[in-house]
């Protein structure tokens, strides 16, 4: 058995993990006005946030075409590999449909396409789990079944320091944002099963970080979990967040990831997030 894991670039997997596990990335187009970049190929997360601060245009991402997925799938099939493709939530992107269409265009090869219902390291944790099971020689059926089982369990909790970007992205109304700004309110949102929901409103940046930690600890409880910390150009804060979360019963490394355009367009700079699931 030889399985290759294909992951959308908006999974925000750190480069060392991509190299270690041999993931194949499908790069998402990111548009700033009339200029288009490819996420993680000619646009790093740091460069993305620099442009986000400087540009007047609201950036947007678009799903890769079926042809882009087809190119990746065909290359791997010709290498004799079976494929597990993990895509961003289909509620907010057409990537899943593009991947399915690409699969239908290949007459040979075994390709399993899964809608993760998530973004950023909510996808990344699933990819890492699949890669570990492949390394430990689990059967293809066991790997696919375990990832399907984990998908509804994975969630991302994110603290949004500046809701201006949520207004630009149409996620919140301008009047509500004005009130929140006056009161210095920082929303905490949850992404799970493709649904984005507001779970808390906290006044003040530091208080919001502590609330984020409290929400993660409450969700995890006494269970052993897998964790990843994501940040929007605030590495020091992410390292501190990782340190505070390390007291939780967890398995493996707590990866630190730089948020890219899928989440960063709406969170803006300064956001902190945690992706996790029980093991």
Mean pLDDT of successive 10-residue segments in the chain (279 residues)? 92 96 96 92 93 85 95 96 97 96 94 97 98 96 97 95 67 48 74 90 91 94 95 96 95 94 85 95
Show the tokens assigned to 181: 């700004």
pTM score = 0.93
CATH architecture, domain defined by 3-150? 3-Layer(aba) Sandwich (3.40)
Q: Which residue has the tokens 């986000």?
A: 52
The beta-strand segments (E) located in the chain are 3-8, 24-26, 29-32, 35-38, 60-61, 82-87, 111-115, 155-159, 185-192, 195-203, 225-231, 255-258, 272-278
Rounded Cα gap, residues 30 and 38, in angstroms: 6
Q: Using an 8 Å Cβ cutoff, are 32 and 51 in contact?
A: yes
Structural tokens at position 9: 């670039």
Parallel, antiparallel, or unpaired for β 155-159 and 272-278?
antiparallel
Which pLDDT does position 178 carry in this prediction? Answer: 46
Quick one: three-class SS letters along 225-260? EEEEEEECCCHHHHHHHHHHHCCCCECCCCEEEECC
What is the domain partition of the chain in residue ranges? Answer: 3-150, 155-278
The C-alpha atoms of residue 102 and residue 71 are separated, in whole angstroms, by 9
Q: Looking at the structure, give the CATH architecture of the domain made up of residues 155-278.
A: 2-Layer Sandwich (3.30)
Q: What is the pLDDT of residue 182?
A: 46
Q: Interhelix angle for 205-220 vs 235-245, to 10°? A: 40
What pLDDT is recorded for position 7? Answer: 98
- Indicate the SS3 state at residue 188: strand
Written as six digits, the tokens of 204 are 């003040």
């Amino acid at each position: 058995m030889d399985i290759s894991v294909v992951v959308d670039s908006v999974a925000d997997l750190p480069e060392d993990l991509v190299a270690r596990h041999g993931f194949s990335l499908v790069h998402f187009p990111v548009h700033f006005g009339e200029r288009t970049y490819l996420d993680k190929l000619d646009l790093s997360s740091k460069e993305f946030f620099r442009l986000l601060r400087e540009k007047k245009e609201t950036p947007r991402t678009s799903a890769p075409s079926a042809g882009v997925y087809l190119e990746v799938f065909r290359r791997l099939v010709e290498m004799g590999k079976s494929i597990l493709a993990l895509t961003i939530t289909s509620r907010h992107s057409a990537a899943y449909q593009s991947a399915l269409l690409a699969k239908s265009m290949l007459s040979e090869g075994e390709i399993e396409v899964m809608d993760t219902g998530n973004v950023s390291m909510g996808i990344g944790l699933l990819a890492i789990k699949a890669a570990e099971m492949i390394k430990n020689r689990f059967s293809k059926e066991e790997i696919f079944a375990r990832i399907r089982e984990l998908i509804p369990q994975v969630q991302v909790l994110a603290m949004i320091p500046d809701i201006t970007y949520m207004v630009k992205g149409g996620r919140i109304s301008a009047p509500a944002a004005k009130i929140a700004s006056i009161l210095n309110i920082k929303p905490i949102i949850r992404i799970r099963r493709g649904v984005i929901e507001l779970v808390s409103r906290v006044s003040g940046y530091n208080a919001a970080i502590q609330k984020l930690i409290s929400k993660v600890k409450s969700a995890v409880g006494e269970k052993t979990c897998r964790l990843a910390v994501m940040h929007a150009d605030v590495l020091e804060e992410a390292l501190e967040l990782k340190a505070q979360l390390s007291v939780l019963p967890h398995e493996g490394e707590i990866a630190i990831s730089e948020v890219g355009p899928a989440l960063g367009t709406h969170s803006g700079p300064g956001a902190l997030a945690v992706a996790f699931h029980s093991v």
